[in-house]
A and B are shown apart, each in its own frame.
Chain A
Amino acid sequence: MNEHVIQQTDNIEKHTLSNKLLANISKFRELGLIVFIVILCAFIQWRNSSFLTIENINDMITNAAILSILAVGMMLVLVTRGIDLSIGAIIALSGMICAQLVSQFSLNPLLIILIGIVIGIVCGVLNGVLIAKIGILPIIATLALMNVFRGLTYRISNGEWVSSYQMTDSFLSIATGKVFGINNLIVIAIVIYIIFYYVINHTVIGRQIYAVGSNPESAKVSGINENKILILVYSTLGGLSGLAGVLWVSKFASAQGDTATGYELTVIAVCILGGVSIAGGAGKVSGVLLGALLLGILQNALPLLNVSPFWQTGIQGAIILIAVILNTLVKRSVDRNNLVRRKI
C-alpha cells in the first residue's frame, strides 16, 4: 500500500516536471528567435560593418515601427481564429484622406492622427460586423472590403498622388520629429506596445479575447460575448491601421492609390514568425515584437548584403512557409512525446 502511494506521488511529480518543460516551449521559442536574431546580426555585421551603427539601427527600428504597430493588432485578430486582409487598403484610405485634408486645410498633426484613427476604426467596425453579426468568413469579408477600401482610395484621389510639397511641415514632422532624441514613430510604437501588453495580460477583456480563440463554445458558456470581442479586435486593428496610414504618409511624404498594397501579408508574416497560432488562442506580445524586429532587420540588411530588392518578396514567402511548417512539426513532436509517456 505504501509503495503504491509512493509510486503515485512519483508519477505526479514526473507529470508536473514534463508539464513544466512543455510550458517552457513557448519561452524557448522566444529565446530561439533572440538567438537567431543575434546570429543574423553578427553575420550581417561581418559582411558589412555599416550595419551596427547607431544611425542604421535607428533607421532600422524606425522602419520596423509601423510594421510592429500593425502586427500587435493583427495578433489579436489571429488569436480569435480570424484574419484581416484589408489593412493595407485601410492604410491607403486613411493616408489618402488625411493627406488631402492636410494639403487643403493644414490641420494640426494631432488632429490628423485622430482623424486617421477614426477612419481606420470605421473600416474595422465594418469588417467586424460582417464577420460577427452576419457570419461571413473573415477571409472573404476582409478580402471584399480590401477592394472596397482600395477602390474608394482611388476614387478619392482621382488616381493622383499627394506629394510632399503639398504637405505641411508639421505633418511631415510626425514621422521625422523626436522626443528625447528618439524618433516619434518609435515612441508611438513603444507606447502602443505598453498599452497592449497591459490590456492583453492584465485585464479581463484581454483574456476574453484569448478565451474566444481558444474555445468559442466554452467562451459562450462562460458568459463571454463573442460578437463583442470579434468586433472589438477588428476595430482595434482598423484603428491601428488608420494610425499607420497617417504615419506612413508622413514618413514617405507621399500618398498614393496603391500605398501599402500587399502589406497585410508582411504583417501576417511577422505574427507567424512571432509564434502566433493561426488556429487561434495563442500568441504573445513579446513574440510579435521579436517577429517585427527580425523582419525589420532582414529588410534593412538585404540591400547592405547586396541582395537584389527583387528577392525580398520571395524570401518573405519562403520564411512564412518555413515558419508555419516548423511550428507544425514542433507541435507534432510534442504531441507524440505526450503519447509515448502514456503508459499502457
Chain B
Amino acid sequence: MSEYVLELKGITKEFPGVKALDNVHFKLKKGEIHALMGENGAGKSTFIKIITGVHSPNKGEMYLYGEKVEFNNPKDAQVKGIAAIYQHVTNFPDLTVTENIFMGHEKVSPITRRLLWKEMHYEARSLLRQLGSTIDPKVEMGSLSVAQQQIVEIAKAISTKAKIIIMDEPTAALTARESEELYKIAEKLRDDGVSIIFISHRFEDMYRLATQVTVLRDAKYMGSWGVDEISNEQLIVQMVGREISQVFPNKHNEIKESILEIKNLGKIGYFADISFNVRKGEIVGLTGLVGAGRTEVCQAICGIAPADKGEIFIKGKKVKIKKPKDAMNFGIGYLPEDRQLQGLILSWDIGRNITLPSMKKYSQKGWLNPKREATVAKELAEKVSVKANSIFDLVSSLSGGNQQKVSVAKLLTADVEVIILDEPTKGVDVGAKSAIYEIINDLAAQGYGVLLVSSEMPEILGLSDRIIVMKEGRIATTLSKEEATQERILEAAMGSEPTNNREVVVEV
C-alpha cells in the first residue's frame, strides 16, 4: 500500500476558453492536514471539484490508496470515502439536522424500507457530541448559525465514514472563536486518522493547523512544502508570483478635502459604530475577514440595505440614502462584489450595460436616444479598454476581467464623486488585475474618492492611502499607508481579543 491516501498526477482541466488547471500534482498522507493555497482564481475550487467527482479532468491520473480511480459523479467520490465541506453551506434548510446528516445514506429497515428515525437521531446526536457540540438533531438546519451548520456538515462527512475530508474556506464566515472550535475539531479528526485538505486564504489557518502546504498559481502547480520549511514571504511570492510592487502601478494621486463622511453607522446583526471618511483623490482600503461586515457597510452607504443607525455626510451635508438611486444622485457609485449576479446583465450587450444607470442622462424626456447612447458607451468602454469587437458584443461573451471593466465603465456614466469598489479583482486573471489597478489609480488621480473593499492583502497594501480594518462588525483599527503591514492588518482583523463595544484605534 502506498504511503499516500490520495495522489493526483498531472491533472489538467480545460473549460471552453480557459485552462482552469494545468499539470497539477498533489499528495496527501494519512492523518495529515494539508493546506491548499493560492489566490482567487488560481484553480483551487476546480481542483476540489476534480477530487469530489463534480468535474472530470481532461488529463492526469488520480490514485486512492495507491489504486487508480476515476470519478464520474459526486456519488462515486462519496462511496470511496471522500467528503467535502464547502464555503457556502450547501444543505437543506427546511429539513432537520438528522436528515441533513443522513441525506443520501439514510438508515432504513431492511425489510419494510421504513426510515429508522430513532437510530438516526441517536447516531446524529452521538456524532455531534463527538464533535463537542450539543446541537439538537431534531431542529431544522435553517435555524442554526453558519458555524453550527458547518459542524453538522462535518458530522455528515464523518457519518459517511469519510477518510478524506476537504474543507473549502470553512473559516471564511466564522468569528475567531468559532474558527478556534473548528480547528479543534479538525485536529481531532486528524488524530483519528482522517486526512484533511484545508483550503484557506488565511495564513493563520495554515500555520495553526497544517503540516504540509501546496500552492497553486494561475492554474499551475507551484510546489509543496512542509509548513516549517517555507517562510511567509516565500509563500507570498509563490502565490502571487512577483513582488507586490511589480503588479501595482506607481501612484500619482493628490489628496484633497473630505467628500464622504460616515458617523456611527450601525445595522442590527451586521455592524455597529462605523465612522470614517473618504477624501477627494484618496483610496481608502477597507479590509477584514469575510463576514466582518465590510460588504454590509458598503451596501448601507449605497442604499441597498440601509443602516438602522448613524449618519452619512456628503461634502459636509447630511444626506438620507434609502435606495441605490439616492446614493447615485448624491454622487456615490457602487461596484458590487458579484458582477454576474449584482453588477451586469449578462444577456445584454456592452453598450446597454454601460448606459443602464444613467439612461436618463442620455434620453430626452424618457425617450431613448440610441445614437447618443452608443457614442457614450463606445467612449467609456474604450476609456477602460474593454477588449471586444464592438459595443454590441454580449457581456456574457467577455472574460471576467473585461466584464469587470464594463462594470467600472458603468459607474463612470453617472456623475459620481465617490466610488465604492467591492472586491474589484475577484476572479480575474493577473493581467486584468493589473489593468484594473491602473484604472483605480487613474480614478483617484482624477479626483474621485475611492473606497476599496478587498480581502486580498497585496491589493489593499499596494493601492490604499489609508487602511481600515474591520473585525466582527466593528472597526478594529485604521492604519496609514506607512504604518500598514500585512502582519498588522492580519493581527487587527483576527486579533484573539474580542473587540469591546467601542471603536478601537491602535495607536502607533
* Inter-chain contact B91/A215, CB cutoff 8 Å: yes
The interface residues of chain B lying within 8 Å CB-to-CB of A204 are 106, 108, 113, 115
* Inter-chain contact A223/B94, CB cutoff 8 Å: no
The interface residues of chain B lying within 8 Å CB-to-CB of A207 are 95, 99, 103, 106, 115
* Inter-chain contact B140/A211, CB cutoff 8 Å: no
The interface residues of chain B lying within 8 Å CB-to-CB of A339 are 268-270
The interface residues of chain B lying within 8 Å CB-to-CB of A213 are 94
* Inter-chain contact A211/B103, CB cutoff 8 Å: yes
* Inter-chain contact A344/B271, CB cutoff 8 Å: yes
Cβ distance B12 to chain A, nearest Cβ, rounded Å: 24
The interface residues of chain A lying within 8 Å CB-to-CB of B95 are 207, 210-211, 214, 281
* Inter-chain contact B90/A218, CB cutoff 8 Å: yes
* Inter-chain contact B138/A12, CB cutoff 8 Å: no
Interface residues of A in 1-31 (CB under 8 A from B): 8, 12-13, 15-16, 19-20, 22-23
A223 to B74, CA, bound (A): 8
Cβ distance A52 to chain B, nearest Cβ, rounded Å: 37
Cβ distance B66 to chain A, nearest Cβ, rounded Å: 27
* Inter-chain contact B90/A12, CB cutoff 8 Å: no
Cβ distance A338 to chain B, nearest Cβ, rounded Å: 7
* Inter-chain contact A8/B93, CB cutoff 8 Å: no
* Inter-chain contact A203/B113, CB cutoff 8 Å: yes
1/0 contact string of A220-258 vs chain B (CB within 8 Å): 011110000000000000000000000000000000000
Could you tell me how many residues of chain A have their Cβ less than 8 Å away from some Cβ of chain B?
A: 36
Determine the residue in chain B with the shortest Cβ distance to A198: B114
A344 to B307, CA, bound (A): 15
Cβ distance A85 to chain B, nearest Cβ, rounded Å: 24
Is residue A282 within 8 Å, beta carbon to beta carbon, of the partner chain? yes
Taking a contact as CB atoms closer than 8 A, the residue among A8, A218, A277, A344 that contacts B472 in the complex is A344
- Stretch of B143-151, B227-235, B339-347, B411-419 that contacts chain A: B143-151
A210 to B99, CA, bound (A): 10
1/0 contact string of A263-303 vs chain B (CB within 8 Å): 00000000000000100111000000000000000000000
Is residue B75 within 8 Å, beta carbon to beta carbon, of the partner chain? yes
Interface residues of B in 343-369 (CB under 8 A from A): none
* Inter-chain contact A13/B113, CB cutoff 8 Å: no
Determine the residue in chain A with the shortest Cβ distance to B293: A344
Interface residues of A in 197-216 (CB under 8 A from B): 201-204, 207, 210-211, 213-215
Is residue A217 within 8 Å, beta carbon to beta carbon, of the partner chain? yes
A41 to B78, CA, bound (A): 54
* Inter-chain contact A344/B272, CB cutoff 8 Å: yes
* Inter-chain contact B117/A12, CB cutoff 8 Å: no
* Inter-chain contact B94/A338, CB cutoff 8 Å: no
The interface residues of chain B lying within 8 Å CB-to-CB of A338 are 143, 269
The interface residues of chain A lying within 8 Å CB-to-CB of B431 are none
Is residue B134 within 8 Å, beta carbon to beta carbon, of the partner chain? yes
The interface residues of chain A lying within 8 Å CB-to-CB of B90 are 215, 217-218, 221
The interface residues of chain B lying within 8 Å CB-to-CB of A19 are 135-136, 139, 143-144
* Inter-chain contact B136/A16, CB cutoff 8 Å: yes
A8 to B132, CA, bound (A): 12
Cβ distance A12 to chain B, nearest Cβ, rounded Å: 5
A204 to B54, CA, bound (A): 24
Q: A19-B139, A342-B269 are in contact. Are A12 and B106 (CB under 8 A)?
A: no
A206 to B87, CA, bound (A): 29
Is residue A307 within 8 Å, beta carbon to beta carbon, of the partner chain? no
* Inter-chain contact B143/A13, CB cutoff 8 Å: no
The interface residues of chain B lying within 8 Å CB-to-CB of A179 are none
Cβ distance A145 to chain B, nearest Cβ, rounded Å: 28
Is residue B397 within 8 Å, beta carbon to beta carbon, of the partner chain? no
Cβ distance B60 to chain A, nearest Cβ, rounded Å: 23
* Inter-chain contact B92/A215, CB cutoff 8 Å: yes
* Inter-chain contact A22/B99, CB cutoff 8 Å: no
Cβ distance A77 to chain B, nearest Cβ, rounded Å: 16
* Inter-chain contact A13/B134, CB cutoff 8 Å: yes
- What are 27 A-B pairs at a CB distance below 8 A? A8-B177, A12-B134, A16-B134, A16-B135, A22-B140, A22-B143, A202-B117, A203-B108, A204-B106, A207-B99, A210-B92, A211-B95, A211-B99, A211-B103, A213-B94, A215-B91, A218-B91, A219-B92, A223-B73, A223-B78, A277-B94, A281-B92, A339-B268, A340-B269, A344-B293, A344-B473, A344-B474
Besides A12-B134, A204-B108, 4 more A-B contacts (Cβ < 8 Å) are: A16-B136, A203-B108, A218-B103, A342-B269
Binding site for B on A (CB under 8 A): 8, 12-13, 15-16, 19-20, 22-23, 201-204, 207, 210-211, 213-215, 217-219, 221-224, 277, 280-282, 336, 338-340, 342, 344
The 8 closest A-B pairs by CB, nearest first: A339-B269, A281-B94, A344-B473, A214-B92, A214-B94, A222-B104, A22-B143, A23-B139
